[in-house]
């Protein structure tokens, strides 16, 4: 009986010990759970706070955004209104300018030197006949520029300065990129020029450098200024690819003919009336000089002082023996024709136009008049622009 009791006792004791042990475990777990619950509570509280703060932030940023949006739309409305007003002012200015009487300096022609400065002996009979014809066509030509008809911006190619023009006797277009170089570029037509992307066209390499924007093309001949120890005008046959004549120019210095385009010492224009040269003479000469040259022999036939100042001039073009000088300011604003000179003294001041070109990109590097189309090929800060002109008959006095 005794061993049975002992066994029973120890079983009871063991049961008792296990119970104690479980109790302790349970207590421990309960404490842990309570602690975790506490933590969770804290986290929850924090999360709620964050949430509230985020909501607050959101509300505030929305308010700020709305404020900004309002300010922005108010500003843009203001800007639009200002632009509209500016536009109106511009248009009014155009109107006033176009109605203002011209301050032309079309005065008595100063015939400084008459007839043949160089190589007088060489003049052949047939050339004299040519000159007779040319001379009469100057007087026959009775057109005067009255206003700007339209403006067309074609494209932007090449550097900020350059020249583009069309041979009035063919459809060919020539591009002179920059202010000097030994290469020019040719297109078959304005259409080809338009569709050629950034390409400058078919290159033509000359035997010497052209310099400045004083270039002209007429009937397949290129006329350009070659700058060396002396200034030369070169006549180049574009079909044969050779120089046909060279002449020294009557310039004593590298003074620019147009003060706003210092690279251009002399400017050339050629049309049915002949070859015209606009130049500075020398540094102290305040006015633009004009010379008429024989387009074949390059002999100078006559020289005038145009009385048009070089200061602030940008470019000039010649229509029917009348020089139109375009002026601007050093910080390019709006170009305007402000001085007119008629070699035949026929244009009276009241007739002479004074008009502004529309606001542009930069400043005109060149203005090349095409008598055939009555439009100017202009190069404005790398943009190629066409200005179509309105002309009227001169009042013959
Ligand atoms: C700002 O305003 C424009 C209309 O003026 C509206 O379409 C847009 O939804 C607004 N944006 C905000 C962020 O309020
Ligand atoms: C035009 O000339 C400028 C330098 O004067 C050069 O950088 C540019 O590449 C030329 N443009 C083209 C299309 O050749």
Does 66 contact ligand 1 (Cβ within 6 A)?
Answer: yes
134 and 67 belong to one structural domain: no
Question: Is the residue at 43 inside a domain?
Answer: yes
User: Across the 397 residues of the chain, what is the mean pLDDT of every consecutive 10-residue run?
Assistant: 56 73 89 90 91 92 91 89 77 60 32 30 39 47 85 92 94 95 95 88 94 95 92 94 92 88 94 89 91 94 93 94 89 84 77 76 90 93 93 73
Largest CA distance in the chain: 168
360 and 319 belong to one structural domain: yes
Question: Is the residue at 108 inside a domain?
Answer: no
Please state, in angstroms and rounded to a whole number, the distance separating the CA atoms of residues 173 and 170.
Answer: 9
56 and 129 belong to one structural domain: no
Question: Is the residue at 105 inside a domain?
Answer: no
50 and 183 belong to one structural domain: no
Residue 276 is part of a domain; what is its CATH number? 2.115.10
The distance in angstroms from the start CA to the end CA of the chain is 164
Q: Domains in the chain: how many in total?
A: 2
211 and 314 belong to one structural domain: yes
210 and 326 belong to one structural domain: yes
64 and 205 belong to one structural domain: no
Does 78 contact ligand 1 (Cβ within 6 A)?
Answer: no
Residue where a domain terminates, one of 99, 129, 155: 99
- Residue 267 tokens read as 């400017």
Output the CA torsion 80→82→84→85 (10° steps): 170
Alpha helices in 173-222 (DSSP H): 190-194
Question: Is the residue at 104 inside a domain?
Answer: no
Return the ligand number nearest the Cα of 176: 2
Bridge-partner residues for 222, per DSSP?
217, 236
Range of the domain at 9: 1-99
Question: Is the residue at 106 inside a domain?
Answer: no
- Structure letter (DSSP) for residue 244: E
Question: Is the residue at 111 inside a domain?
Answer: no
Question: Is the residue at 346 inside a domain?
Answer: yes
Return the ligand number nearest the Cα of 73: 1
Q: What is the structure's pLDDT at 117? A: 31
Does 65 contact ligand 1 (Cβ within 6 A)?
Answer: yes
192 and 56 belong to one structural domain: no
Q: What is the structure's pLDDT at 392? A: 85
53 and 25 belong to one structural domain: yes
300 and 362 belong to one structural domain: yes
Does 69 contact ligand 1 (Cβ within 6 A)?
Answer: yes
214 and 122 belong to one structural domain: yes
Q: Measured from the CA of 65, which atom of ligand 1 is nearest? A: 13
Residue where a domain terminates, one of 69, 99, 129: 99
Does 372 contact ligand 1 (Cβ within 6 A)?
Answer: no
Question: Is the residue at 289 inside a domain?
Answer: yes
238 and 317 belong to one structural domain: yes
Tell me which residues have their CB closer than 6 angstroms to ligand 2: 158-159, 177-178, 198, 200
Q: Name the 3-class secondary structure at 92.
A: helix
> What b/e string do you get for 136-153 counting C-beta neighbours within 10 Å, with b at 16 or more?
eeeeebebbbbebeeeee
Atom 13 in ligand 2: residue holding the nearest Cα: 158
Q: Measured from the CA of 199, which atom of ligand 2 is nearest? A: 13
State the distance from the centre of ligand 1 to the C-alpha of 63, rounded, in angstroms.
12
State the distance from the centre of ligand 1 to the C-alpha of 69, rounded, in angstroms.
6
Residue where a domain terminates, one of 99, 131, 153: 99
């Amino acid at each position: 009986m005794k061993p049975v009791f002992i066994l029973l006792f120890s079983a009871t004791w063991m049961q008792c010990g296990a119970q104690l042990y479980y109790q302790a475990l349970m207590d421990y777990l309960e404490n842990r759970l309570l602690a975790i619950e506490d933590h969770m509570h804290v986290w929850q509280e924090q999360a709620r706070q964050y949430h509230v703060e985020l909501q607050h932030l959101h509300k505030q940023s929305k308010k700020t955004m709305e404020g900004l949006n309002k300010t922005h739309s108010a500003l843009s409305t203001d800007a639009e209104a200002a632009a509209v007003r500016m536009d109106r002012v511009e248009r009014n200015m155009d109107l006033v300018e176009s109605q203002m009487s011209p301050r032309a300096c079309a005065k008595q022609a100063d015939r400084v030197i008459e007839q043949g400065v160089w190589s007088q002996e060489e003049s052949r009979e047939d050339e004299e006949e040519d000159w007779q014809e040319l001379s009469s066509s100057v007087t026959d030509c009775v057109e005067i520029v009255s206003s700007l008809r339209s403006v067309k911006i074609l494209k932007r190619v090449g550097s900020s300065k350059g020249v583009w023009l069309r041979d009035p006797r063919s459809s060919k277009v020539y591009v002179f990129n920059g202010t000097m170089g030994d290469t020019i570029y040719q297109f078959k037509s304005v259409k080809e020029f338009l569709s050629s992307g950034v390409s400058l066209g078919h290159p033509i390499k000359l035997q010497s450098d052209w310099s400045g924007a004083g270039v002209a093309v007429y009937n397949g001949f290129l006329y350009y200024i070659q700058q060396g120890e002396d200034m030369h005008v070169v006549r180049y046959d574009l079909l044969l690819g050779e120089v046909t004549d060279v002449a020294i120019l009557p310039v004593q210095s590298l003074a620019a003919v147009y003060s706003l385009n210092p690279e251009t010492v002399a400017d050339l224009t050629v049309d049915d009336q002949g070859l015209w040269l606009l130049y500075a003479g020398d540094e102290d000469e305040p006015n633009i000089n004009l010379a008429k040259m024989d387009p074949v022999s390059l002999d100078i036939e006559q020289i005038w002082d145009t009385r048009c100042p070089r200061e602030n001039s940008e470019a000039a073009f010649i229509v029917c023996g009348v020089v139109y000088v375009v002026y601007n300011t050093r910080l390019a604003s709006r170009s305007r024709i402000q001085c007119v000179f008629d070699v035949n003294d026929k244009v009276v001041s009241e007739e002479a136009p004074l008009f502004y070109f529309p606001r542009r990109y930069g400043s005109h590097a060149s203005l090349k008049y095409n008598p055939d189309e009555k439009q100017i090929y202009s190069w404005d800060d790398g943009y190629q622009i066409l200005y179509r002109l309105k002309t009227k008959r001169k009042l013959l006095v």
